[in-house]
Each structure stands twice: as structure tokens, then as C-alpha cells.
Amino acid sequence: MGDDPRKRGGEARLLALAALYLCGHALLITLLRTHAQVVSIACVTVAAAWAAVACARRARRAGETKDWWIVALAMLLWSAGMAANLPFAATGQGAVNPGVSMLLFVLYMAPLLFVLAWRPEDPAAVRRIDGGLALVLAGLFCAIVAGHASVAGTPLENVPALRSVYDVGNAFILGLAFIRWLAGAGSPQRVLFGSLAIYASIYFAVAFYVNHVESIGPGYGVFSDLAIDFPFLVLALIASRRGRPHAEIALRRVDKVVQLASPLVLPLALLLASAHLMPSQPWLAGLGIAAAVLGYGMRTVLAQLRAQEQLERLAAVATIDALTGIANRRRFDERLASEWMSARPPAITLLLVDVDHFKAINDRVGHPGGDACLRAVAHVLGTQASRSGAFAARYGGEEFVVLVPAREEGVALALAESMREAVSGSDACRTAAGGRVTVSIGVAVARAGGTPQDLVDAADAALYRAKGAGRDRVVLHARDASSVTTAS
């Protein structure tokens, strides 16, 4: 199926609008030569603001990651940094990146690093830590800029140092964006990373040219300024596109490595910034190092805690019957083996419970009603068992099993009879099954020299006799194969 013609038409109009914007920028520089600097700075400012608006609109779409808002903030900071040149250009004070402008250009990197560092599965507490690290990083960036530039401008001898800050920051963002895109699964985040990778590639090339080649030229107000528009216009076009539904892709090993390593991004950036500040402001560098170590440590503790909780939830899911909510056969086998190893013979009695005429119940109320019946019976058995310190589980199908921590036959028989009466008199069971529900129960006591399977077989034999004797009764398996029967 081809693309929607309306979608293609909308993209063509956006592309044409971007082309017209570049032409308009060039035309204004040509026509307004005496004010070329102000006009060019204003055009670049608007281009970055356009990218910010497009990213914000993308964040508001259904199914899109809200991290587009953070990208929009980065673009807004860059736009504000360029706009800070306007008063200097309008008054003829030079317009070559005053300190405020340099500061905002560096600050714009912090939101991008934050977006590229976090993972969608991270909890809110981890994101707050990352946000705090991003703020500390922004503060260190401010200190770096303040050490090389003032509000009025940047001394020529400090320009190379600031260029190196920009180069390292831009390269860091570019490399990280590509890595996150290449290693990402099919998701809104991967689309975001791909968009940032394209933008960062163009921006890195343009910034390198402007910082290392154009900076020795006449400044703003020349046709090469159109190149500065280009990365922002491209990002605005990408953010404005209507993407296709995101297909999930299985993670490869490299994807998992990148996702696990991404929490190192902000601490590493903090360490690099701290190293830059160490000769001039060691106390501030120490603060940055402490923040990196403490932030990563807290992140690690929270990640381990979350992993432990997930393991506990998985363990619970693995041992809980999905239909009835009580323990499943696997959990029963583990519990029986544990009890058997604790003593020889163990002080336990086994009750095997079967719902009478369950097939007829299913035929009468259908499978949903049969499932409701099993849940109701499980609730009754589980409640009775917990009151007596016993352990109840679903054995399979319509059978349940109860481990009683006692070898006294009288105690086990009393509990079994209480369970039988509770099920028979349960309104919930009656409502679910569309009539009275009864159970047959086989009881067996653990014997010296036996095995867990012997105990199960004995309880099963007693249950078979209970069903053969008319159901709705409790039967105790005796060692000599005779039985004690409690009829309804």
C-alpha cells in the first residue's frame, strides 16, 4: 500500500517552505546589506525556534515519546543564544558571540545529553537523578564558559579553548546519537535517536566550519550563514513528518550492551567537564566528580533494587496459578520436597481435593463459568488452609492439594471435613456453577520409609475411593489399604 497522498503533499509543502526560507534569508542579506548582520542573526534565530516548535508539536502527538519536549528545550536554548547577539549587532558592538550567547550555546548540549542517556524502562526516581546530573553538568558548562568569556564578549586568546569545548560536546552528542540509533529497537525512542543522529551530523559539520573557518572571516551577515539554518530546518522537517507505526524489534546483544552502558553518559560528561575545570577551579571540579560518582552510585542502587523486585515478581508469577491465584503445581512440588527433607518422616498430611462432576458444570455454565467455579473453590480452600497454617495449591485441572503440618489423622480429617462443608455451603461457588458444588477429598499421612510420591499416590488412592463411594465425602487412606470414610 502506498503512502497517503495527503501525507506526501504535506511533506512537499514543508520542504518547499524550508527552501523558501533559505531563499528569503539569502535575499534579505542581499537587499539589506547595511543591516546584514542583524538580519542574518535573526534568520538563524528563527530557524532554531522553528525546530523547537516542530519538536514540541511532535511531543504532543499520540504514540510519540515525550522526550521531544526536551529536544525542543535544547533548540530553544540555542535560539536564545543566537538571539543574544542581536543587541550587540544592532548597536555595532561586534556581534561576535558575547558571553551570554556562548553560555547558552553550551547549555543547549545538556538537554540533548540527558535525552541520549536515559532508557525508557528507567523509573521516575532514576530520571530525577539523571535530571539532577544534567543540571550539575549545565552548571559546570557555565563555569567553563565564565572562565573564558564575559558578558561583553570573548577575548581572542580564549577562543581556541571554547572551540575545543564545542568540538568535544558536539562530537560526543553525534557519536552517542548514532550509537543509540544503531542499537535501538523499533520504538518511538529509536525514531528520536535517528532524528538526532541526522541533525547532529549536519550540526557538527556546520559548527566545525563556522568555528574553525568562518570565524576568521567577516562574521555574520554573509551567505555562508545559510549553512547555520540548515541543521535546524532539517530537524524541523523530520519532526513534522507523520511517521509510520513503530514495529518492535528483538534486541540484539549489542543493543543490550548499549542500553546497559547508557547510564554512564552523564557521569562521563561530568568527569570530562570536571577535568577541564581542575586546573583553574579544583573545588568546582571536585564537586562535579562527587556528583558523577554519587549520581551513578544512586542510579546503580536503584537499578539493583528494581532488578530484585522484578526477580521477586517473576518468582511469584512462576509459582502462582494464573487462573485461581493460589500456588501452582510447581510451588507445591517445591514445598513438598522441602517438608520431606526437614524430617524423616515429615510431620505432614496430604489432602487431595477434586471438584465433583466438573465436566457437567462446564457443560451447564460454559468454560468461563467453570473457571469462575474453580476460582471460587480455590478461594474457599485457600481461606480454610490459611486459618489452619496449611498450604493450598492447584494440582491440575479441577484438582487441588493441601499440605497440613501435622501427622495426627484427626486434625487432618477435621480440616478436610471443614473444607468440604465450606465448599458445599459457599454462595460464591453456587453462583459460579449455577448450582450446589461439592468436592471429594482423599487424605494420606506421611509414613516412615516412604517417599513424596508415595504420599501423593496414597492421597490419590483415597480420593479415588471417595469418588467411588458417591463423592462429596472425605476418605482417609490407611496403611493396610482399608479406609476411614466421612460421608456427607
The residue ranking higher by pLDDT, 349 or 310, is 349
Q: What cell does 488 get?
A: 456427607
For residue range 269-310, what is the model confidence (pLDDT) as tens digits? 788 888 877 887 888 888 888 988 898 888 888 878 887 877
Query: One fold for both 5-316 and 329-486?
Result: no
**Which 8-state DSSP code applies to residue 473?**
S
Residue 3 clears pLDDT 60, i.e. is over it: no
What confidence category does residue 482 fall into, taking pLDDT thresholds of 50, 70 and 90?
Answer: very low
Report yes or no: 410 and 388 within 8 Å, Cβ to Cβ: no
Higher-confidence residue of 7 and 455: namely: 455
Q: Is 398 part of the annotated catalytic residue set?
A: yes
* Cis amide linkage into residue 345, ω under 30° from 0: yes
Instruction: Give just the sign of the alpha carbon dihedral 431, 436, 437, 443.
Output: positive
**pTM here?**
0.63
pLDDT in tens, 25-41: 889 888 888 888 888 99
**Model confidence at 481, in pLDDT bands (50, 70, 90)?**
very low
Q: For domain 329-486, give the fold.
A: Alpha-Beta Plaits (3.30.70)
Q: Which tens digits make up the pLDDT trace of 232-259?
A: 999 999 998 875 544 455 456 566 666 6
* Mean of the per-residue pLDDT values of the chain: 82
From 214, 339, 398, 399, the catalytic residue: 398
Q: How do strand 349-355 and strand 439-445 relate by DSSP bridges? A: antiparallel
| Distances 330 to 6, 315, 327, 334, 452 between C-alpha atoms, Å | 57, 11, 8, 6, 14
- 15 neighbors 241 (Cβ within 8 angstroms): no
The mean per-residue pLDDT over the stretch 190-208 comes to 91
Model confidence band, residue 332 (pLDDT cutoffs 50, 70, 90): very high
CATH class label, 5-316: mainly alpha
For the stretch 99-134, pLDDT in tens is 678 778 878 888 888 888 777 667 778 878 888 888
* All structural domains of the chain with their residue ranges: 5-316, 329-486
